């Protein structure tokens, strides 16, 4: 009987899709292009989602529960269609319905443009959190910026990265709803006047520029959940779409300038990851997000509860990195200047509401603003920060007395800079790191002096990934295999992953597991052939490093290892019995010259290998263009080896590492970020660890004992590898071209030896890689067992666990019933 009902449902869906094609798109199934079929399909499931969303809003308003504002400058959402279908439990039905209509579901999915409003891990984390929070029925609203252009699209031309704009809204965005009635005004520039009245000091902001913030809301459906989360993205408009008054007065330029001032704010996402750009426009973006979110939050609370004194009982705010920090002084401003609160009263509320997640300790990534620029753009916010800082430094002086240098280091303002991390740790209720190791480093290094004062503030919550997207969507066959061998609903309960440990030694299970990996490799091979015309050997080992291109992530070290294998194969053509395909995918920030050089180097090495008919049978380099969520979904399930090789202490957590583990790739990695916890979960025999530890790296830095020249002189292998960068063998490029990289490896920069310790760790990497290779080639049965253990233990890295932990330790939300 079940199948009949399901058959009926499929028929209904097919009919609904045909109906949508005619009614909203004015076309028929026979005529419709794929993008129209996508719109009709998405439109059908959207109808159901909208109903659920509206009902849930009603319920959460009625229950008056505490709500989380998850603020993030980035949300790297990717596509929504398949994810929504999975979470609505309609995936199979829709697939079949399209099949009934003679349409391939997978082709339709490809029509959706990725929502790429993020650079990498930080933005993807925000997206995974929304999925988990909705699934756990937490009342949450994600707040961000509706960039008209997301992260640039990457093309490779002549081995070099070329950036192209990401016009993701060109075809419209079926999932969003514009809410003009919720618009608020945000004020920039101008000056502040203070008037004493009988009610006390009155602050008046004059001569400001006004920008209108218009919210666009998007439902984020949880799995088997009645409480979709809302993603609210703010778009900037000028107050008058066109200032006719100025135009008639003949000041045409002013009319246009006002419009340009406003609309440029939400134009484009800044494309640098783990790097701070102190540009005025960026500051505008961040204040725009902060002010719009706080204004609407206050307004909503006033409407529902009347009294702002209870605000902290009903809202909590998580700020994802420092980017939304200005929400803190902005809420102070609203409470004092608009609602008449006194300083202490306002501050007591603000202190309870905000919590801050740190994502990096690298100094070049810490957010600082030029004080004069800040004062000019945000005069009132600047005043508030100054007062906040004075009071804070008074407190610090009680504790640290004579240690002036400690106090000036902790100050929110210093060296003509406004320092956002210092503001956060001073005010926020909780400060968290994103892995256990990273949490320890925050306490021992970056925020050590603050930690001594407020030890209870500091916590660590290990990042996670949603296994709905990164298993069910990306690897449906593996998900099905797990379902077939477990009891309970793994999509709802990540603890169920562990049940497959029972089948670790089951030959039939191993066989199925291995076949799925093989099919995923074929799926990726087809994908990359279609996209880039590259043919790969699906009987080779897939060794994958995909993440942002950054020196600390050490794609360069991987590349040097490939040069090493090339040199070994030159000497000894049977050096490798099983071929290896090295797959890279990475975008470099457009202004990051070294990162772009490394992309070029990877392509030179690829050309050198491709030019050798013997060696190219053994090793192949593939660079996948335009790394994005969709590329990751295709690529990661196909990986045998996961490269997680950052310099110890530099990768705060990583989340790519978790996606690979869940999909049964074995990790070769350093003891860094969440790799440490993957190690703890799977045990030493199921992961390949190499390289210097955080402590060793720290000691080498402290005592200046790292000398790359010694490694170079003592180790002929290392010498040969490095020389390849400058001896002219790399094709097309000529001798000089990689001498910069060569120099930096050997002599460092700015009088410091290479701070990423590439040559230091390379011998250990080569040695460990031999073990990885040997295990795969000579003990494949063990390999599969290890892979199964990795999948089985990956439940811990579900973001369902992560957000539950945030809730226990920070938010204290009740779920909506
Ligand atoms: C998961 C993910 C990342 C983060 O990868 P790391 O290896 O943790 O740096 C970056 N970009 C995309 C598209 C991702 O899906």
Q: Which residues contact 705 (CB under 8 A, 6 or more apart)?
A: 699
Q: How confident is the model at residue 560 (pLDDT cuts 50, 70, 90)?
A: very high
Residue 800 CA to residue 660 CA, distance in Å, equals 18
Q: Provide the residue ranges of all domains of the chain, joining segments of one domain with +.
A: 7-63+89-113, 64-79+114-428, 535-798
Mean pLDDT of 206-220: 97
Closest by alpha carbon to 470, among 755, 800, 201?
Answer: 800
pLDDT-derived band at 311, boundaries 50, 70, 90: very high
Give the pair of three-digit tokens for residue 453.
């004062």
In this prediction, residues 541-568 reach a mean pLDDT of 98
Give me the mean pLDDT over the 751-768 stretch: 97
The predicted pLDDT at position 735 comes to: 53
| Residue 683 CB partners (closer than 8 Å, separation 6+) | 789
Q: Which helix (H) or strand (E) holds 388?
A: helix 379-400
Q: Evaluate the CA torsion angle 529, 535, 538, 541 in order and state its sign.
A: negative
Q: Of the residues 123, 548, 647, 663, which should be mutated to test ligand 1's pocket, given the most ligand atoms within 8 Å of the CB?
A: 548
Q: How many CB atoms lie under 10 A from the CB of residue 30? A: 7
Query: Which atom from ligand 1 is nearest to the alpha carbon of 628?
Result: 13
End-to-end CA distance of the chain: 32
Say if residues 695 and 445 touch (Cβ distance below 8 Å). Answer: no
What is the per-residue pLDDT for 733?
65
Tell me the C-alpha distance between 681 and 462, whole Å: 13
Per-residue pLDDT for 248 more than 80?
Answer: no
Residue 71 pLDDT > 50: yes
User: 425 is written with which tokens?
Assistant: 């740790």
The whole-number pLDDT of residue 242 equals: 63
Report the run of H or E that residue 209 belongs to, with start and end. Answer: strand 209-220
Give the Å distance between the CA of 763 and the centre of ligand 1: 27
Pick the residue whose CA is nearest to atom 9 on ligand 1: 547
Query: What is the pLDDT, as a whole number, of residue 4?
Result: 58
Residue 251's pLDDT band, with cuts at 50, 70 and 90, is confident
Pair 174, 251: CB distance under 8 Å? no
To test the pocket of ligand 1, the residue of 124, 633, 643 to mutate (highest count of ligand atoms within 8 Å of its CB) is 124
> Which ligand 1 atom sits closest to the C-alpha of 644?
7
Cα separation of 549 and 546, whole Å? Answer: 8
CA of 690 to the centre of ligand 1 (A): 22
The answer to whether the CB of 230 falls within 8 A of the CB of 218 is: yes
Q: Give the C-alpha separation, 544 to 528, whole Å.
A: 14
Give the whole-angstrom CA distance, residue 476 versus residue 712. 47
Residue with tokens 């945030």: 806
Q: Are strands 160-164 and 67-71 parallel, antiparallel or unpaired?
A: unpaired
Alpha carbon nearest to ligand 1 atom 8, residue: 654
Q: Phi/psi class of residue 246: alpha, beta or left (left: φ > 0; alpha: ψ in -120 to 50)?
A: alpha
- Beta strands 641-644; 666-669: pairing state: parallel
State residue 1's pLDDT score. Answer: 40
Give the integer Cα–Cα distance in Å for 138 and 229. Answer: 8
Ligand 1 centre from 629 Cα, in Å? Answer: 8
Mean pLDDT, range 403-417, rounded to an integer: 96
What mean pLDDT comes out for the span 414-421?
A: 98
What topology does CATH give the domain 535-798? Answer: Rossmann fold (3.40.50)
Cα of 125 from ligand 1 centre, angstroms: 9
Rounded distance between C-alpha atoms, residue 494 and residue 498, angstroms = 8
pLDDT of residue 36: 98
Same fold, 64-79+114-428 and 535-798: yes
Sign of CA dihedral 644, 648, 654, 659: positive
Class of domain 64-79+114-428: alpha beta
Q: How many helices (H) and strands (E) does the chain have?
A: 33, 25
- The whole-model pTM stands at 0.97
- Short-list 417, 411, 416, 419, CA closest to 450: 411
Q: What is the mean pLDDT of residues 665-679?
A: 98
Q: CA 507 to CA 499: how far, in whole Å?
A: 16
């Amino acid at each position: 009987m079940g199948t009949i009902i399901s058959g009926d449902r499929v028929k209904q869906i097919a009919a609904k899709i045909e109906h949508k094609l005619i009614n909203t798109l004015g076309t028929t199934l026979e005529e419709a292009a794929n993008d129209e079929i996508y719109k009709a399909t998405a439109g059908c499931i959207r109808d159901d989602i909208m109903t659920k969303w509206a009902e849930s809003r009603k319920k959460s308003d009625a229950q008056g529960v505490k709500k989380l504002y998850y603020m993030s400058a980035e949300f790297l959402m990717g596509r929504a269609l398949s994810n929504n279908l999975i979470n609505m439990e309609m995936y199979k039905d829709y697939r079949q319905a399209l099949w009934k209509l003679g349409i391939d579901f997978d082709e339709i999915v490809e029509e959706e443009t990725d929502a790429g409003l993020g650079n990498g891990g930080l933005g993807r984390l925000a997206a995974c959190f929304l999925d988990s929070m909705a699934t756990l029925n937490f009342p949450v609203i994600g707040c961000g910026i509706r960039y008209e252009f997301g992260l640039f699209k990457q093309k490779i031309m002549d081995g070099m990265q070329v950036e192209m704009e990401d016009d993701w809204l060109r075809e419209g965005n079926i999932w969003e709803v514009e809410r003009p009635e919720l618009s608020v005004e945000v004020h920039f520039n101008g000056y502040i006047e203070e008037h004493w009245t009988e009610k006390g000091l009155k602050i008046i902001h004059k001569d400001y520029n006004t920008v209108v913030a218009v919210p666009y809301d998007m439902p984020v459906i949880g799995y088997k959940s009645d409480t979709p989360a809302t993603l609210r993205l703010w778009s900037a408009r000028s107050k008058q779409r066109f200032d006719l008054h100025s135009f008639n007065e003949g000041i045409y330029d002013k009319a246009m300038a006002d419009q340009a001032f406003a609309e440029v704010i939400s134009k484009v996402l800044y494309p640098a990851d783990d790097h701070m750009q102190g540009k005025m426009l960026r500051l505008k973006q961040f204040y725009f997000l902060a002010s719009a979110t706080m204004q609407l939050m206050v307004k909503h609370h006033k409407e529902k509860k009347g009294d702002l004194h209870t605000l902290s009982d009903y809202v909590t705010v998580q700020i994802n990195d420092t980017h939304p920090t200005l929400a803190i002084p902005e809420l102070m401003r609203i409470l004092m200047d608009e609602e008449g609160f006194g300083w202490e009263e306002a501050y007591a509320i603000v202190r309870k509401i905000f919590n801050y997640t740190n994502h990096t300790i690298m100094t070049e990534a810490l957010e600082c603003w030029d004080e004069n620029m800040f004062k000019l753009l945000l005069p009132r916010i600047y005043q508030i920060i100054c007062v906040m800082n004075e009071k804070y430094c008074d407190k610090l002086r009680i504790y640290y007395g004579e240690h002036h240098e400690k106090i000036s280091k902790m100050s929110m303002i210093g060296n003509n800079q406004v320092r956002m991390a210092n503001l956060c740790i001073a005010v926020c209720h909780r400060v968290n790191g994103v892995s256990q190791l990273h949490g320890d480093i925050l306490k021992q290094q970056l925020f050590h002096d603050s930690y001594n004062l407020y030890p209870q503030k500091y916590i660590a919550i290990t990042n996670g990934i949603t296994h709905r997207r990164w298993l069910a969507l990306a690897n449906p066959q593996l998900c099905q295999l797990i379902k077939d061998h477990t009891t309970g609903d793994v999509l709802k309960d990540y603890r169920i992953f562990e049940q497959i440990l029972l089948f670790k030694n089951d030959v039939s299970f191993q066989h199925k597991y291995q076949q799925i990996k093989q099919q995923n490799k074929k799926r990726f091979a087809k994908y990359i052939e279609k996209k880039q015309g590259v043919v790969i050997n699906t009987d080779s080992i897939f060794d994958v490093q995909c993440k942002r291109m950054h020196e600390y992530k050490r794609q360069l070290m991987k590349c040097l290892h490939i040069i090493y294998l090339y040199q070994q194969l030159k000497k000894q053509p049977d050096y490798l019995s099983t071929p290896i395909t090295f797959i890279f995918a990475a975008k470099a920030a457009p202004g990051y010259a070294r990162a772009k050089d490394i992309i070029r180097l990877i392509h030179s090495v690829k050309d050198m290998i491709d030019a050798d008919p013997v060696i190219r049978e053994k090793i192949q380099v593939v660079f996948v263009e335009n790394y994005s969520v969709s590329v990751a979904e295709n690529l990661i399930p196909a990986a045998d080896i996961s490269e997680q090789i950052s310099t110890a202490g530099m990768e705060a957590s990583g989340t790519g590492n978790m996606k690979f583990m869940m999909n049964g790739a074995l990790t070769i990695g350093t003891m860094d970020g969440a790799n440490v916890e993957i190690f703890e979960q799977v045990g030493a025999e199921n992961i390949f660890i190499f390289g210097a530890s955080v402590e060793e790296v720290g000691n080498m830095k402290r005592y200046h004992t790292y000398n790359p020249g010694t490694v170079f002189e003592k180790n002929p292998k290392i010498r040969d590898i490095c020389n390849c960068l400058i001896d002219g063998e790399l094709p097309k490029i000529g001798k000089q071209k990689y001498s910069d990289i060569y120099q930096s490896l050997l002599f460092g920069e700015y009088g410091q030896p290479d701070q990423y310790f590439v040559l230091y760790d390379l011998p250990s990497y080569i040695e460990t890689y031999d073990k990885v290779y040997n295990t795969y080639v000579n003990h494949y049965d063990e390999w599969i067992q290890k892979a199964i253990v990795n999948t089985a233990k990956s439940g811990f890295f579900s973001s369902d666990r992560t957000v539950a932990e945030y809730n226990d330790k920070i938010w204290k939300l009740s779920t909506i019933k």
